[in-house]
Amino acid sequence: MNPTVPALETVNLGKSYGRKWGLQDCSLRLPAGRIAALVGPNGAGKSTLLRMAAGITRPSAGKVEVFGHSPQQQTVEALRRIGYLDQERPLYRSFRVEEMLRFGRQLNPRWDDVIAHNYLRQLGIPTDAVVGRLSGGQQAQVALTMCLAKRPALLLLDEPVAALDPIAREGLMQILLQSVADSNTTVLLSSHALSDLASVCDYVIILSASRVHLADDLDYVLASHRLLVASGVHHSAETPAGVVVISARHSERQTDLLVRVEQPVNDPEWRVIEPTLEEIVLAYLREQQLPDAVNSNMVSRWSLRGEQ
């Protein structure tokens, strides 16, 4: 596979539901081989983006390509590269688990039955059980197994761990990582479990209010953001030069700023702390309330990057 072709590329991708936009002006390139976290509040457009990438929702604007193929064309060439786990984890409830696997085997040329059986054994799911009688968590695991056994080049997972207890969550993440390490699969997964993501992902995409706010390597994201703390009330005019304030919180005793930096901050007035991914994400999700200037600043920066 040509490594320069991005696993997923969207250009000004948009989806409107009536007058309301579910996703707007979304331009991003996900390089092959990454495990990308798609984070954002409810209704930010995460599921919409994943469904358009999987080819089951038609974009209202812009284009989306998976390894250079449009998933909208519904060609076998594009479909066999995509593994998609829907948020609702639809399965044929009257099927037995082994019949679900037979379904996958017959409909996918690259299907790996050994992988499927191995994962199900690891997860402790009997193959003669009826899918509809499994617990929600087990159904999610069967659905993910179906995606992995398809051996896609791009896995699109919508809230893969949402219905799982912490132990099952860990087990599922382990299987996901194992599968990805074995096959060099690119993964785009949406989740609310920010703490889980940081240990798994190496790429971050932040969606909020139907727009992409950040899409970059996790290392770069961590390196380019700083938490600035100063005692007393500071106003944005007094922030150090060369930083963009993402989120600011003022209290009577101190001011916390989460900022994006291009170079190290050397201002004696501010204590500089390296933020966690969770802190960065939360700062961006609060960004909707910030002035438009920041917003447009961000958009232009990311469209520039897209053209490189």
Those residues with Cβ within 8 angstroms of residue 52's Cβ, 6 or more apart along the chain or in another chain: 10, 13, 15, 23, 58, 59, 64, 71, 72
Q: Contact with other proteins (CB under 8 A): which of 83, 137, 160, 275?
A: 83
Per the CB < 8 A criterion, the answer to whether 195 and 173 are in contact is no
**Which CB sits closer to other proteins, 68 or 166?**
68
How many CB atoms within 10 Å of residue 302?
Answer: 19
Site string for other proteins, 94-133 (x = CB under 8 A): xx---x--xxx-xxxxx-----------------------
**Which CB sits closer to other proteins, 59 or 275?**
59
Q: How far is the CB of 261 from other proteins (least distance, A)?
A: 41
Q: Contact with other proteins (CB under 8 A): which of 20, 92, 121, 124?
A: 92
**Which CB sits closer to other proteins, 55 or 275?**
55
**Which CB sits closer to other proteins, 90 or 232?**
90
Cα dihedral sign, 19-21-27-29: negative
* Helical (H) or strand (E) element with 219: helix 218-223
Site string for other proteins, 133-172 (x = CB under 8 A): ----------x--x---x----------------------
**Which CB sits closer to other proteins, 149 or 173?**
149
Is 23 a binding residue for other proteins by CB under 8 A? The answer is: no
* Helical (H) or strand (E) element with 16: strand 8-17
Those residues with Cβ within 8 angstroms of residue 212's Cβ, 6 or more apart along the chain or in another chain: 25, 26, 27, 28, 205, 206, 302
Q: Contact with other proteins (CB under 8 A): which of 86, 196, 216, 287?
A: 86
Cα dihedral sign, 269-275-280-286: negative
Alpha-carbon span 229 to 51, nearest angstrom: 40
Length of the chain in terms of residues written: 308
Site string for other proteins, 38-67 (x = CB under 8 A): -------------x--xxxxx---------
Contact footprint for other proteins (CB under 8 A): 51, 54-58, 74-76, 79-80, 82-84, 86, 88, 90-95, 99, 102-104, 106-110, 143, 146, 150
